Homo-oligomer: A and B are copies of this chain.
Amino acid sequence: MEPGPPGGGRPHEPGPFLSGPRGADLAAPASSLSVVAAVLPAGGCGERMGVPTPKQFCPILERPLISYTLQALERVCWIKDIVVAVTGENIEAMKSIIQKYQHKRISVVEAGMTRHRSIFNGLKALAEEQPNLQLSKPEVVIIHDAVRPFVEEDVLLKVVTAAKEHGAAGAVRPLVSTVIGPSADGCLDHSLERARHRASEMPQAFLFDVIYKAYQQCSDYDLEFGTECLQLALKYCHTKAKLVEGSPDLWKVTYKRDLYAAESIIKERISQVICIVMDTKENKEHVGHLLEEVLKSELNHVKITPGTLCHAGKGLQQIILEQCYNFVCVNVMSSDFQETQKLLSLLEESNLSILYPVVVVSVHFFDFKLVPLSQKMENLMWIREFAKEVKKRNILLYGLLICYSQDEQKLQESLRQGTIIIAALIKERNSGLVGQLLVA
């Protein structure tokens, strides 16, 4: 196990914005559980992806896919240990990932030549005393894929609860395509009735003694060519697994298009809350508040939450803890960038950007009747150097100049334009455009 660096850890999980539906009833049955552990086979080479990197190590927003899956499991507090099986050549890389993203309760073991052998190695590490690992035998073990990053606590709880009752349980989904059986000459022999079959997905859960016994008795042929753990429990322990209907989120990242989809889903999830930071409490008429109103009305699928930098940024620290990854910093009191600077310092201290890139849009108003645009832009060129600096810490800083007009209609138009730009920057999270000064 690779502990994270001491102190300065990333914010606590789960944040209310990134975890899925989490009923009040989830905690109670979980606490009545005995020890639960999880095993993640991650020894595959991802040949279907068409890229040289095994898919579990492919980056999404510059972080390896497997780190998202570990994050999904470790935020479930009742999973005591998480054992990851990776090939010998990837063990060091895996340990670096655990350290860099400060994952907890993770142990690394060596994968076998096949999926079943990798799972078996993970189970052995839990069952037997290992010299370098401090693990204890759980009552229930979850088996999950390293490439299904969107698993939610509720389905994990469902399979664990069902496994305690039935000995084994697994998530299933309706079939998307009709399944057919070919004849030896490559023609259609028969087709299966779609409604009578299910796709077997992950996670699955087992009483540890059931699945461990199944693997111990398992034939070499099954270890080599089998694909289904539920089948092993049935064949070797006569345990009929309970099937649990899962959500579409359980899908497996298999092809390159799935990486694209995963990236879009993650970007969408971390773009649901925007914190608008300004120190203009006293002046309700201020244009910063008008911007807030326009953001609220134009981006009605997004939660706009106000933050404040006064009182040593207390309110803001709460928002950071709740994992908001988007900040619009309105610089109004001073003509320069003190507010943005303060915000950036706070963000750097918080380690919020360890897991996801954080977007900061530094907003400045200008009245072109008073100051020429060119001069205002010249004044703000500092943002380029700043952006370069904070980008190293995964903070994406952009500047936004909003044209201030006494004409109500023109002002509204500028604010709407500013909102479109803010939405675009947050949605794309493009590091190639940091330090740019955009004009609305």
Q: A240: which of B170, B183, B192 is its contact (CB, 8 Å)?
A: B183
Task: Say yes or no: is A216 at the interface (Cβ < 8 Å to chain B).
Answer: no
Residue ID in chain B nearest A187 by CB atoms? B240
Residue pair A188, B432 in contact (C-beta under 8 Å): no
Q: Which stretch of A84-92, A226-234, A332-340 is in the interface? A: A226-234
Task: Say yes or no: is A186 at the interface (Cβ < 8 Å to chain B).
Answer: yes
| A432 contacts across to B, CB distance below 8 A | 420-421, 423-424
Q: Determine which residue in A191, A225, A254, A263 has the highest number of CB atoms from chain B within 10 A of its CB, and name it.
A: A191
* Distance between A369 CB and nearest chain B CB, rounded to angstroms: 15
Bound CA–CA A333/B335 (angstroms): 38
* Distance between A373 CB and nearest chain B CB, rounded to angstroms: 7
Task: Say yes or no: is A242 at the interface (Cβ < 8 Å to chain B).
Answer: yes
Residue pair B240, A188 in contact (C-beta under 8 Å): yes
Residue pair B228, A201 in contact (C-beta under 8 Å): no
**Contact digits for A1-31, partner B, Cβ 8 Å, 1 yes 0 no:** 0000000000000000000000000000000
Q: Which residues in chain A, 199-233, are within 8 Å of chain B measured between CB atoms?
A: 199-201, 225, 227-228, 230-231
Residue pair A188, B252 in contact (C-beta under 8 Å): no
Bound CA–CA A198/B172 (angstroms): 18
Q: Which residues in chain A, 399-426, are within 8 Å of chain B measured between CB atoms?
A: 420-421, 423-424
Task: Say yes or no: is A255 at the interface (Cβ < 8 Å to chain B).
Answer: yes
| A257 contacts across to B, CB distance below 8 A | 248, 251, 258, 261-262, 264-265
Task: Say yes or no: is A175 at the interface (Cβ < 8 Å to chain B).
Answer: yes
Residue pair B384, A439 in contact (C-beta under 8 Å): yes
Q: Which stretch of A132-140, A322-330, A375-383 is in the interface? A: A375-383
Q: A373: which of B192, B381, B423 is its contact (CB, 8 Å)?
A: B381
Residue pair B201, A177 in contact (C-beta under 8 Å): yes
Residue ID in chain B nearest A439 by CB atoms? B436
Q: Determine which residue in A168, A187, A439 has the highest number of CB atoms from chain B within 10 A of its CB, and name it.
A: A187
A interface size (C-beta, 8 A): 73
Q: Determine which residue in A181, A199, A421, A432 has the highest number of CB atoms from chain B within 10 A of its CB, and name it.
A: A432
Task: Say yes or no: is A374 at the interface (Cβ < 8 Å to chain B).
Answer: yes
| A374 contacts across to B, CB distance below 8 A | 372, 374-375, 377-378
* Distance between A411 CB and nearest chain B CB, rounded to angstroms: 17
* Distance between A150 CB and nearest chain B CB, rounded to angstroms: 9
| A166 contacts across to B, CB distance below 8 A | 187
Task: Say yes or no: is A433 at the interface (Cβ < 8 Å to chain B).
Answer: yes
Q: A177: which of B186, B200, B225, B241 is its contact (CB, 8 Å)?
A: B200
Task: Say yes or no: is A179 at the interface (Cβ < 8 Å to chain B).
Answer: yes
Task: Say yes or no: is A243 at the interface (Cβ < 8 Å to chain B).
Answer: yes
| A309 contacts across to B, CB distance below 8 A | none
Residue pair A243, B439 in contact (C-beta under 8 Å): no
* Distance between A244 CB and nearest chain B CB, rounded to angstroms: 8
Bound CA–CA A427/B177 (angstroms): 32
Q: Determine which residue in A177, A198, A240, A424 has the highest number of CB atoms from chain B within 10 A of its CB, and name it.
A: A177
Q: Which residues of A pack against B, CB within 8 Å?
A: 48, 166, 168, 170, 172-173, 175-183, 186-189, 191-192, 194-201, 225, 227-228, 230-231, 234, 240-243, 248, 251-252, 254-255, 257-258, 260-265, 372-375, 377-378, 381, 384, 420-421, 423-424, 427-428, 430, 432-433, 436-439
With A177-B252, A191-B230, A374-B374 already in contact, 20 other A-B pairs whose C-beta atoms are closer than 8 Å: A172-B182, A173-B177, A176-B252, A177-B201, A178-B199, A180-B197, A180-B230, A181-B196, A182-B197, A183-B240, A188-B241, A191-B200, A248-B255, A257-B265, A258-B261, A260-B264, A263-B264, A424-B430, A433-B438, A436-B438
A-B contact pairs, 27 of them (CB 8 A): A166-B187, A176-B252, A176-B254, A177-B199, A177-B200, A179-B197, A180-B198, A182-B197, A182-B198, A182-B243, A186-B242, A187-B240, A188-B230, A188-B231, A192-B197, A248-B255, A257-B258, A257-B261, A257-B264, A263-B264, A374-B374, A374-B377, A424-B433, A427-B430, A428-B428, A433-B438, A436-B439
